[in-house]
A and B are shown apart, each in its own frame.
Chain A
Amino acid sequence: GAGVSQSPRYKVAKRGQDVALRCDPISGHVSLFWYQQALGQGPEFLTYFQNEAQLDKSGLPSDRFFAERPEGSVSTLKIQRTQQEDSAVYLCASSLRPGQKVPNEQFFGPGTRLTVL
């Protein structure tokens, strides 16, 4: 596609429900990132994939958060037993490859706004 797409754009969940957020990166992009953006804040790093390998998941806030990218393209961020503090915009970004000397530009999707009631 022309850019990074995410679905759904909006998700309302009841506390305790499981949710799955999808990211379709730009075709051919090797690196994929998930960020959490709370209201009025900048994005915070959650996890990073290079192809299908999850190389860094240090930003995931708890073991209720799980991300996968099984075929090295589409990625899913799953949140189990959602809590109110999980309410945020979840951004996905992709880039062509790990930078050789400088970081490559990350292309962001429009995000999924998750509201947990």
Chain B
Amino acid sequence: AQTVTQSQPEMSVQEAETVTLSCTYDTSESDYYLFWYKQPPSRQMILVIRQEAYKQQNATENRFSVNFQKAAKSFSLKISDSQLGDAAMYFCAYTLSYNNNDMRFGAGTRLTVKP
């Protein structure tokens, strides 16, 4: 079974600074998809960024970028120029199927942004 591990229960960053959230996963497959989701206190999960395993280039979305290390099964999220609105729970997720019906989430990292 695939597992997703987020080893940092909590992280803190100063406003305008950069923070990196870690995620590792376990799979024997070569084709899969990885995601970072943000869950603010309102509980509504929002997709931040996604990466297809067959793509070597790291995904970027504005201030958010990933460091995808396929051999190491590592998928970290870098948030640059952190803003107060970035404060939330961040979940790393993995899916093998393009149906999404086997998506597995990590336990999450709570990010605090200090003004």
Contact = CB atoms under 8 A, between A and B. Distances in A.
B101 A45 contact: yes
A41 B101 CA distance: 18
Interface residues of B, number: 26
A56 B46 CA distance: 23
Interface stretch (A18-26, A62-70, A75-83, A101-109): A101-109
A91 B91 CA distance: 14
A35 B29 CA distance: 24
Contacts of A40: 107-108
A42 B93 contact: yes
Contacts, number: 76
B43 A55 contact: no
A109 B105 CA distance: 16
Nearest to A108: B45
A98 interface: yes
A102 to B, nearest CB: 6
A113 B102 CA distance: 23
B8 to A, nearest CB: 14
A87 interface: no
B6 to A, nearest CB: 8
A102 B93 contact: no
B33 interface: yes
A55 B101 contact: yes
A102 B50 CA distance: 10
A111 B45 CA distance: 9
B101 A102 contact: no
B43 A111 contact: yes
A93 B45 contact: yes
13 contacts: A33-B103, A41-B107, A41-B108, A42-B107, A43-B105, A45-B103, A48-B99, A91-B43, A102-B33, A104-B100, A106-B47, A108-B44, A109-B44
